[in-house]
Amino acid sequence: MALPAAATLGSSPLVPISVSAAGMNSSGMSVSFGARSVPGISLAIHSRRRRIVAVGAAARGEEAAEKTFVEEMRAVAMRMHTKDQSSEGEKEQRGPSLNELEPNLEAYLRFLVDSKLIFQTLENIVDRAAVPWYGEFRNTGLERSEALKKDLKWLSETGHTIPEPSAADTRYASYLEKLSEKDQHAFFCHYYNMYFGQSAGGRMIGKKIADKILNKKELEFYKWEGTLSELLQNVREKLNQVASSWTREEKNRCLEETETSFAYSGERLRKIFT
């Protein structure tokens, strides 16, 4: 049986939507609607803003010294939210909230296809392990590309046309490939935000989508084999172990990539509502 036709949206604002790897707010949702659009998704993020993000996490004296590096990444991500989403948020709320927008199925298919491309790219990178520590993240249980492959197959079998990956996320995949070779510390940031973001706010968005346009069908994209909290903790420990040998400058390089990571993910999520 084909799925019901999706709700049709009018002209919606081009606002980035960011799902945080940091966790969910009190309502269970961790999604940011920022005012800054991403020009062409080439993402020439100003270096000054990058430095602000990095210095904000690194310059808190003893507090920063006591944090694990994953906790530092979480803190930077949380500050990119608005105050109503997190007490640590620093962004001004502009544009509509998630609950004020309606998804449509055609747009959601584009999001799933692009998500599969990005997760497959990340998995290919760690499988090849051009940088030795990448190999530590093979078969963590957080991998998403096979789950998305199953979902897209099911959607195709129910009569829906599966689109090709977008130009924007094709560029993002290329960016990740290049970054993984030339800047392992910045790559680390994208890896963390993609997988942890999907396990937090991503799941809540998935439930909203299922309720609205999939007859409450839960996709494989939002299921994990094993206990998710344990899978995440295992990866946290691996990430902290890798970062334990980094200098402060190398850690800051990772942290300052957060805004770029959010911008790419936000552009992909925005497709659900356009």
Q: Which two tokens stand for residue 162?
A: 């599966």
Largest CA distance in the chain: 59
- Min mean pLDDT across 30-39, 128-137, 197-206 is at 30-39
Residues 6 or more apart in contact with residue 77 via CB below 8 angstroms: 20, 21, 22, 193, 258, 262
Residue 245: DSSP 8-state: T
H or E stretch covering 43:
none
Question: How far is the CA of 81 from the CAs of 19, 20, 130, 207, 211, in angstroms?
Answer: 9, 8, 34, 21, 25
Position of tokens 């509509």? 96
Q: Which residues make beta-bridge pairs with 19? A: 31
- Sequence letter at residue 262: F
What sign results for the dihedral spanned by CA atoms 267, 271, 273, 274? Answer: positive
H or E stretch covering 169:
helix 167-182
* Average pLDDT rounded to a whole number, residues 176-181: 98
- Note the CATH number of domain 104-272: 1.20.910.10
- What pLDDT is attached to residue 80? 77
d(CA 76, CA 159) in angstroms, rounded, equals 42
- What pLDDT is attached to residue 97? 64
CB distance 6 to 155 below 8 Å = no
- The whole-chain average pLDDT of the chain stands at 80
- Sequence letter at residue 157: E
What is the three-class DSSP state of 60?
A: coil
Q: Which residues make beta-bridge pairs with 32? A: 18
d(CA 255, CA 57) in angstroms, rounded, equals 8
Which residue from 32, 37, 36 is spatially nearest to 17, judged by alpha carbons?
A: 32
The residue with greater pLDDT, 223 or 16, is 223
- What pLDDT is attached to residue 189? 97
CB distance 188 to 254 below 8 Å = yes
23 pLDDT above the threshold of 80: no
- What pLDDT is attached to residue 1? 41
Residue 26: DSSP 8-state: T
* Average pLDDT rounded to a whole number, residues 51-63: 48
Where do the domains of the chain lie? 104-272
Q: Which two tokens stand for residue 217?
A: 């069908």
Residue 221: DSSP 8-state: G
Q: Which residues make beta-bridge pairs with 18? A: 32
- What pLDDT is attached to residue 65? 59
35 pLDDT above the threshold of 70: no
